[in-house]
Amino acid sequence: MLRIPFDEVLAQLAAILRRLGFSEPRAETCARLFAETTCDGVYTHGVNRFPRFIATIRNGSVVVEAEPTRLAAHGALERWDGRRGPGNLNALAMMDRALALSREHGIGCVALANTNHWMRGGSYGWRAAEAGCISVCWTNTMPNLPPWGSAERVIGNNPLVIAVPRAAGPVVLDMAMSQFSYGALESYRKRGELLPVDGGFDTQGNLTRDPAAIEQSWRPLPAGYWKGSGLSMVLDMIAAMMSLGRATHQLSGDPEFECGVSQMFVALHPQAVDPEAVGPEPGTAAIADSIVASLHNARPAHTGTRVRYPGEETLRIRAENRELGLPVEPLVWVEILAS
Give the catalytic positions in this structure: 45
Q: Among positive and negative, which fits the CA dihedral 196, 199, 201, 202?
A: negative
In the list 68, 146, 260, 327, the residue contacting a copy of itself (rule: CB under 8 A) is 146
Stretch near a copy of itself under the rule CB under 8 A, chosen from 11-19, 21-29, 89-97, 290-298: 290-298
Stretch near a copy of itself under the rule CB under 8 A, chosen from 4-12, 83-91, 114-122, 264-272: 264-272
- Span 6-65, contacts to a copy of itself by CB under 8 A: none
Residues 252 and 258: beta-carbon distance below 8 Å: yes
Question: Measured between alpha carbons, how far is 108 from 95 in angstroms, rounded to an integer?
Answer: 9
The binding track of 188-227 with respect to a copy of itself, each residue x by CB under 8 A or -, is: ---------xx------x-x---------------xxx-x
131: contact with a copy of itself by CB under 8 A: no
> Closer CB to a copy of itself, residue 235 or residue 336?
235
Look at residue 126 and give its three-state secondary structure.
Answer: helix
In the list 11, 55, 63, 77, the residue contacting a copy of itself (rule: CB under 8 A) is 77
Q: Nearest distance from residue 204's CB to a copy of itself, in Å? A: 12
273: contact with a copy of itself by CB under 8 A: yes
Identify which of 128, 120, 160 has the alpha carbon closest to the alpha carbon of residue 35.
120
In the list 26, 45, 49, 79, the residue contacting a copy of itself (rule: CB under 8 A) is 79
> Closer CB to a copy of itself, residue 25 or residue 196?
196
The overall longest dimension of the chain from CA atoms, in Å, is 61
Look at residue 291 and give its three-state secondary structure.
Answer: helix
The residues near 49 (Cβ < 8 Å, ≥ 6 apart) are: 34, 119
> Closer CB to a copy of itself, residue 270 or residue 325?
270
The residues near 73 (Cβ < 8 Å, ≥ 6 apart) are: 79
Question: Measured between alpha carbons, how far is 300 from 291 in angstroms, rounded to an integer?
Answer: 16
In the list 36, 78, 81, 210, the residue contacting a copy of itself (rule: CB under 8 A) is 78
The one-character DSSP state at 334 is: H
Residues 60 and 66: beta-carbon distance below 8 Å: no
- Span 97-116, contacts to a copy of itself by CB under 8 A: 104-109, 111
147: contact with a copy of itself by CB under 8 A: yes
Look at residue 299 and give its three-state secondary structure.
Answer: coil
137: contact with a copy of itself by CB under 8 A: no
148: contact with a copy of itself by CB under 8 A: yes
> Closer CB to a copy of itself, residue 47 or residue 107?
107
In the list 30, 171, 185, 326, the residue contacting a copy of itself (rule: CB under 8 A) is 171
Stretch near a copy of itself under the rule CB under 8 A, chosen from 29-37, 82-90, 181-189, 305-313: 305-313
Q: Is 84 exposed, middle or buried (0-12, 13-18, 19+ CB in 10 A)?
A: buried
Question: Measured between alpha carbons, how far is 20 from 54 in angstroms, rounded to an integer?
Answer: 9
Question: Measured between alpha carbons, how far is 40 from 314 in angstroms, rounded to an integer?
Answer: 6
The one-character DSSP state at 263 is: E
Q: Nearest distance from residue 112's CB to a copy of itself, in Å? A: 12
308: contact with a copy of itself by CB under 8 A: yes
